[in-house]
Every structure is written in structure tokens, then in C-alpha cells.
Amino acid sequence: MEKTDKAEFVYEYTRRRREFGRQTLFEDRNAELSVSIPSNPSMYKHYILRNPVNVSVENTKSMSEHWVNSVRAEYTSSGVNHVEGGWPKDININDPEATQRYRRKIEKDDAYIHAVMHLGHSMEHNILQNNAVDMYQIYYSELPSIPPVERSSCHTVNVYREPGANRRPIRSLSWQQDGARLATAHADICFTRNSRNLQLSYIWDIENANAPELTITPPQPLLDLQYNPRDQHILVGGLMNGQVGCWDMRRGGEVIALCPPHVAHRELTRNVLFINSKTGAEFFSASPDGVVKWWDTRNMSEPTDFMIIDPVKTNNDTQSVENALGISALEYEPTIPTRFMIGTETGLVVGGNRKGKTPLEKLPSKYEAHLGPVYSLQRNPTFLKNFLTVGDWTARVWSEDCRESSILWTHSHRTKLTDGAWNPIRFSLMLVSQWDGCLSCWDLLRRRTAPVVTAQLCDEPLLRVRPHEGGLLVACGSSKGTVYLAELSENLGTADKNDKQLLTHILERENKRERILEARLRELRLKMRQERDVGHPDGDSAPTDKDLEEAANEYSLMVQQLQEQQNNQDLG
């Protein structure tokens, strides 16, 4: 021991370095008795019993901890944005001709060829290593899925039920321009008994679900009821007997103008829509009789114009009501005043032009959309060349440039789809109502294989869906006369700044893909036609209908001659 200047005692000891860190060897052995000291009973009288007894037992060895401050090493991370390099200072890299001349000069050098050959071996080694790695292997598949960052939701905020016990299906929904009121048209097409109580339709204040604000009393049940986009007090509707009428909320629920029966549609009026006009009083209607008629609310004595929906193949063909296609859906975009689109009961979507002179100009385009009736038809509010159709068990997105097939479509649902609409604010969102009472929300920017949200609003079928102009509220009408007002989450009702550009890329890419497929299909058809023509040369062409008819007449004439000869022989 030695005493330091600071009056501290220090004990120093030394140990060889080779004795540090020796490997600890363990082995399994049986228990061994090292020492056994028996107790001595004679010593008991020298001790007394101690109670209580506090004993501290240590079952582990005492360990010490030591900290050493090592030399601190500082590291920095730096990167280089290598855009263009390897050029001499006298070469302007922005001049393509100068760089091309210098590149040709270097490629002619012998050293360049040797350098490329020398680098080829190392590059080949790296390529072979990459080929040995399965680039399609799915890693971390066993980990649980992480919940999405965005929480998409849809929930019911209010319910509007038809007054009375006899509740009829909802055939139409229409929002007022300011979004404070909702017009609902009720009609039961299968119920034929003429009852005044079964002809009412209603206008609801969305803040009051206890009773409708106004009751519409038409002479026949209404199948469609639409607000005037310019005058929020005027409504037009289509009746079950084919007539169209006009209502003014300021005058009550009675009709103020009604077309005569002899100028009305031959079938029930299924669709009415206002058009873009200077007066704001013109609208047009459609019916399963295959005729579209234009009206003016100031004079409902006769239609101002009409068009028969009979697609013809040549300019010489004439349109007729007997061959007209029944109309099940109607679409109009105010920014294209003279154009409109209709969906038919046979699954066709036909584009119409009111200013056309010939039948081909009146109905210039045709799309084979669905196997059954087209229940819904609507253009995208931002991309007017693309439109949504709903029919049978699928919803499809079409482009006017592709007539052979749709560019996007949903999978075939187990239940029938009844209606569909675009969200006016979130223009990539499709709202589709289903027969099982679900409202499905399809966002083309987030996921195209399945809806982002499916909300079970009720147990009865949903027949109509109409989104609010604000984008967050959606009105859905059921088969039992009930309107469910649903609210979408913030991410489903608002649009980001990049959404328009992203959706443009998606639609253009799908449109290009479909046009390539259409061109390939035309090539195959042309090839099959040429092969068929080669198989039947000019000298031995395939028989036509005229040839078959002449052969049949010639055969009949020969049979008649043989019969006459046989009769003459029998008489002789």
C-alpha cells in the first residue's frame, strides 16, 4: 500500500494478459459431498434459541461494471448528384453536336475498346449474380398487414321515411341547387290499382326528417322528378301514363302545367332532364317507347321537338317507332348543349345529336355496354369524354374513343347493381347502389379491384343514389320508400391537387390499351376475311342468298315438269 498526495489509498495488483479471457469449460457431473460436519448435542446447552432470525443469503456472485471512454469518431454522409460527367472542360455538354463528335472520337480510340472489354468481365459477373437472385420473391409475407393511413368510412346521418303505411319504391332523387332540399318520386309500377293515396311524392328539408316539407300531388304516380338548375322553385316530372308535368313549390303541390295525353309518350315517362337554354325552361324526356321529346314549361301543349331512337346502318334507311329501342336511362351535359346520351333496355348506349340532319348524324355513336337494361348513365364531371354505365352485375367506365369495349370495369357482383353516379368533387369516386342494400364506393386512384368502402345502409334493395354537390353527402333511396342520407369521410369527398393529373394518366393509359386491342382485333378480322376469300376463288365463290333462291326455283320447276310428264304417261 502506498499513500497518495490526495490522501487516497490505492491497492495495485498485476496479472498476466494471457490469463484474461480464458474459455469457460462446463461438464455434467453428479453431486459430490465435499465435507460433512455432524452436530454435537453436548454443545446445545451453551446456546439459546434466537427468534426471530434474519439471514441474508447471496445466491449469485458479485459483479462489477467498468466504463471506458473510447476515442470518439465522427462520421458524415455526403452524396453526389451525378448528372453528366467525364467530359473535358472545352466540351459543352448542352451542345448535342459537340458531345456527339467527341463521342465518335473516343469510340474510334483503341484504348476505348480495350477498356470496354476489360469492364465486360466484371459486368458479366454482376449480371450472373443478379440472375441467381429471385427478384419476384415476396418478402415479409408472414408479417401482419398494417392498417391504412387513410381511414375511409361511410355512415348514415339521417333517415327520411315515406308517411303512411303503404310505402312505395323510390324512383327518383333530385337535389335542390343550394342543397337544402331533396325531391323524391315514389311509384310502384307493379301495383295497378288507381288510388289517390298511392300517387304522392315529397320534398324533404334535409334538416327535418320528421315530415316532408311539401307533398306533390300528381294525377298519376311520378317516375322521375327533377329540379330546375336555374330556378330552385320549379320542378318537372314524368308520369306513369306517359305525360310530363311542371310544379312550382311557391304554388303548392298541384301541377301547374301538364301536357295533353295525345302528345305524350306511348309508355311511362321514365326520365326527364333540363337542358341548357337561354330561358332555362326547356327540358326533354325519354320513355320505353323509344322516343325522346323536348318540351318548354311555358307551353306544354305539344313538344318542341322529338327524335326516334332507331339506330340505322345507311343513310337511306328511315327511322320508325316500331323499330325504336326502349330507353331506360338518360344523360345530358350542359357544357355540350346539342349532345346527349341514352341507355336502352337492350344494353346499348347511344349517343345523340339534336342538330343532326340525317339519321346517322342524329345517332352517331353506339356502344354495347351491358347484357340487360342500362340502369344508370352519367358523364364524368371533369373528364367529359368518359362516362359511367351501370347494368346487370357490373359498373363500367367508357371512353368515347373506344366503342368496342369499356376501358375500366368492376368485377361481377353476386347481387344486381341498380344505380351509379360520380362524386361531383372527388371525380375519381364512383358511388354504386346494390340490391342487397349496400352502397359501394369505388376510387379509381386508390384501388380498382375492390371498393374502398362498402356500407350496409339497409336490408331492403337500394334503387337510387344521388350525391350532394358538396361531395360529402349521398342520398340513397330504397324499395320501401325510405331515403338514407349517408356521409362520406373527408378523403372520399375532397380532391387533392394531384388527383386530376393522376386520373388523366390512368384514363389515357387504359384508353390507349383498348385502342391497341381494337386495332389487333381488326387485323384478325381482316385476316380471317382474306383467308375465307382465298378459300372461295372467283370461279367458285361462296353461294349467296340470291344464288340459293334461284337454285330453289329451278329445282321446283324441274319437279313440276317431272310430275306433268308422269301424269301424261298415266293418262296415255
Q: What's this model's pTM, rounded to 2 decimal places?
A: 0.65
Residue 27 pLDDT > 60: yes
Range 228-245 average pLDDT? 89
Q: How much of the chain exceeds pLDDT 70, in percent?
A: 90
* Per-residue confidence band for 1, with pLDDT thresholds at 50, 70 and 90: very low
> What are the beta bridge partners of residue 397?
388, 408
Q: Which among 328, 436, 338, 309 is positioned nearest to 389, based on CA atoms?
A: 328
In a domain, 52, yes or no: no
Residues with Cβ within 8 Å of residue 491, at least 6 apart in sequence: 150, 151, 152
Q: How many domains in the chain?
A: 1
In a domain, 334, yes or no: yes
What is the model's pLDDT at position 537?
A: 53
In a domain, 103, yes or no: no
In a domain, 457, yes or no: yes
Residues with Cβ within 8 Å of residue 352, at least 6 apart in sequence: 292, 307, 309, 339, 340, 341, 342, 362, 363
Q: How far apart are CA 228 and CA 257, in angstroms?
A: 15
**pLDDT tens column, 35-88:** 888 888 888 888 888 888 887 777 777 777 777 777 788 888 887 776 666 778
Q: Which helix (H) or strand (E) holds 106?
A: helix 96-107
3-state secondary structure (DSSP) of residue 288: coil
> What are the beta bridge partners of residue 283?
274, 295
* Per-residue confidence band for 541, with pLDDT thresholds at 50, 70 and 90: low
Q: How far apart are CA 97 and CA 548, in angstroms?
A: 71
What is the model's pLDDT at position 4?
A: 45
| Residue, of 430 and 113, whose pLDDT is higher | 430
Cβ contact 486:439 at 8 Å: yes
In a domain, 542, yes or no: no
In a domain, 96, yes or no: no
CA-to-CA dists, residue 368 to 330, 345, 386, angstroms: 16, 11, 15
Q: Which among 230, 152, 170 is positioned nearest to 475, based on CA atoms?
A: 170
What is the model's pLDDT at position 3?
A: 44
| CATH code of the domain in which 258 resides | 2.130.10.10
Domain carrying residue 250: 166-313+320-519
Range 23-34 average pLDDT? 81
Q: How much of the chain exceeds pLDDT 90, in percent?
A: 14
